[in-house]
Chain A
């Protein structure tokens, strides 16, 4: 129960038996899970609160049966002392982020864009006479995120974005992912959060089970292969207003992560925002960005030159 004490704290000593939630299985109480959780946080920046340990346990279970670990503490050895620990950690991270990509995966991010971030950016751009918005989906995988952003921007074009033009840059390292992203063909899983209205508006039938992104949608997105740790390439991606980089940094070691984040910082315009995956954080990775909380999500903000704490973002 994560030290919140479901109610009111210190009652743990008062209660003769901790009967609460006793039926959820003793396995979850194994301290090895907490160690695995902390290890993942330390390495990848992905954090799972105590109350969600069951999710972590189910993700570990799959890897545990593959490597033949009998209990979480044995599996912890696979992640920390065995020779192939780095590979195993990567496989576990794959399990943890699996199924993360579908369209409209994070409505709170889009709400924050719509209600706060874009109005703010547009206002400051207008003052300078700039009309163009640039959004970058860094690590776009098979394209769900950039297509979501394209739909979102098109839907706002009559209102919020009526005086703006916009473009989306979508990059990934994996060639196969990029081929799939450019094709833009999606099944039910990827479209599970996409309304019937949007499906009809922005997709065309492909075969009996799948839909394909319309040319209008595709025309907003420029796909490119980019290695985020490639300094020379990163230098040419300047002038971004918002960067999405969800569940990508988790695979980098601390030094590379810092370098990538510094590139993001340099590539964003002042007042620009960086979005990470829901459970990711830059704690102890970077202190140039400011963490800004929005309802149900948070993002990293690049303050304008001369900003001092206290003035509102």
Chain B
């Protein structure tokens, strides 16, 4: 652990004093990993109603043209219209979104959540295609992989903002800009918060190692999937809002090789077609995220 990161640790550890976040996150995470038939509508409705802002977001979204034209006035009705899974994701991303005040975002919040939501969907789709046994976990880890970006925005706002600016100007990855300018990465800072919040071990590994798959230990397949989905999103205009100079030969990526070992179906995946599918779904991902976050800031 390096020096810069150590200085950051106490500041990250102080983060859970922020209201509502940890309260809502633990039960949510547990609930999101249940199979659909074991989900309890009342419990989700209760969580949504816990936070007035989030309840309003859900209602606003249920009333958006994306979901047809109707009048939705109650949280329970919104849950039925939107589906419980979708609402849980909104809940999770909204509560994390509240963690970072508007003036501390280094990235556009919309851009960040498009990337996270895109990554969640792509990771789950990939999980389904290759036969990974827990697609919902894949979804969840895709959604939260960049927790460290929120941490960096919050605890070293100005330095991180400079990182993002440098990354955009040079067309390099945020990860590399962090290595060069901060001395630590969002993987490392995200891990500190993940441990502090007692997030599940595999999720913590994804948060820490999604840019460094070779270091992943127990959750290597999950980390690999998120790593590949993250790349695919950045290649399909669901990145961080700037042109990143990159050329990726997926079959040559260490994550690919590691994933193929466990899931041979990956080797015959039609990647060109998968990419076009992501591009096809992009409009809807953007629509979904914008419906949740646009009016908020």
Contacts and interface: CB of A to CB of B under 8 A. Distances in A.
Contacts of B243: 111, 115, 295
Contacts, number: 155
A117 B245 CA distance: 11
A13 interface: yes
A11 B62 CA distance: 14
Contact of B235 (A13, A52, A283, A296): A296
Interface stretch (A19-27, A131-139, A194-202): A19-27
B276 A293 contact: no
A125 B249 CA distance: 21
A30 B155 CA distance: 52
Contacts of B101: none
A313 B252 CA distance: 9
B288 interface: yes
B284 A1 contact: yes
Contacts of B125: 3-4
Given A47-B273, A115-B245, A310-B257, A13 B36 contact: yes
A52 B80 CA distance: 27
A2 B280 contact: yes
A295 B244 contact: yes
B18 interface: no
A313 B247 contact: yes
A176 interface: no
A293 B245 contact: no
Contacts of A279: 276
Nearest to A10: B36
- A2, A10, A22, A291, most chain B CB atoms within 10 A: A10
A20 to B, nearest CB: 5
Interface string B235-260: 11101000111111111101001000
Contact of B250 (A9, A48, A291, A295): A291
Given A291-B271, A295-B237, A4 B121 contact: yes
A309 B36 contact: no
Contacts of B213: none
Contacts of A88: none
A4 B125 CA distance: 7
Interface in A255-302: 279, 281-283, 290-296, 298, 301
B251 A49 contact: no
B43 interface: no
B252 A4 contact: no
A253 to B, nearest CB: 20
A183 interface: no
Contacts of A291: 249-251, 271-272
B166 to A, nearest CB: 17
Contacts of A290: 249, 251-252
A292 B68 contact: no
A301 to B, nearest CB: 7
A83 interface: no
B277 A116 contact: no
B272 A298 contact: yes
Contact of A51 (B136, B284, B288): B284
B247 A311 contact: no
Given A16-B80, A295-B243, A298-B275, A10 B85 contact: yes
9 contacts: A4-B121, A14-B80, A14-B84, A16-B80, A51-B280, A51-B284, A115-B245, A282-B272, A293-B250
Interface of A: 1-4, 6-11, 13-16, 19-23, 41, 47-52, 111-112, 115-117, 279, 281-283, 290-296, 298, 301, 309-313
Given A4-B281, A14-B84, A310-B254, 19 more contacts: A3-B125, A6-B285, A6-B287, A7-B288, A9-B124, A9-B139, A10-B85, A10-B136, A14-B36, A15-B80, A20-B66, A291-B250, A291-B271, A292-B249, A293-B248, A294-B247, A295-B243, A296-B235, A310-B252
